[in-house]
Amino acid sequence: MLALDKWASCVIARGHDKLLGRWLYLEMVGQQGQWIIVLSAYHVCPQPFDATYNKVMAQQTRLLQLNGIQNPNPRQQFILDIILQINSWWHEGKEVLIGMDVNKDVNHPHSKISRIFTDWANQPSSSPLSGSIQTGHLSMQ
Residue 135 has pLDDT above 90, yes or no: no
The identity of residue 43, as a single letter, is H
Tens digits of residue pLDDT in 29-74: 988 888 999 999 998 887 777 777 778 888 899 999 999 999 999 9
Strand order in the sheet with 95-101: 11-16, 23-29, 35-42, 95-101
Listed by start position, the domains of the chain span: 5-118
Average pLDDT over residues 25-29: 94
The DSSP call for residue 87 is H
Q: What share of the chain is helix, strand, coil (3-state, %, to 5)?
A: 30, 20, 50
H helical segments located in the chain: 56-66, 74-91, 115-118
CA–CA dist 88, 47 (Å, integer): 30
